[in-house]
Structure 1
Amino acid sequence: MEDTAADIASLSFEDALRALEDVVRKLESGEVPLDATITLYERGEALRKHCQARLDAAQARIEKIVAGPDGQPAALQPFDPETGR
């Protein structure tokens, strides 16, 4: 059963990743007919985009704790993945 875009959008990251892994296993098996391969590929691409969007959203929420002069947490700053800080 193929998921619609709305069905995929409602999946958690973990569920979407499991579904994507299932698609990859089926495609790698080489036993899927051509038409089904195309459908599976399209579903896999939709699942990949969903997973990437979930990861991007999580990364945007990550903040680092900045210590003040007394060593205690003083502020929160966005995490910069480019510098790792």
Structure 2
Amino acid sequence: MKGPYVQGRPGGRFVYLSWGTVDGSGNFTMFRRAKLMLDAVPAKVLDAAERTGLLVGRLGLTDARGMTLCARVVPPAIIWTAGSTD
């Protein structure tokens, strides 16, 4: 997997989901982030995403304590699908 937002080495690629605030001037200040681990995408889903051009990760935005989600995110905390955002 490659792209402008994909980071990490092969076998450990991920994208960040960043939490932050935007001030009145439009400046973003990050305060927390989560790594959505792409190596945890099931092979069938990844194949379908390559065909359709769309990979979707659905996840809750808070952890068990009600805080914004952070750290490494893998299934079952994220459900990967391909081809539709519905």
Fold shared, TM-score > 0.5 on shorter chain: no
What's the TM-score once normalised by structure 1's chain length? Answer: 0.23
Tell which structure's C-alpha radius of gyration is larger.
Answer: 1
More helix by percentage: 1
More strand by percentage: 2
What's the TM-score once normalised by structure 2's chain length? Answer: 0.23
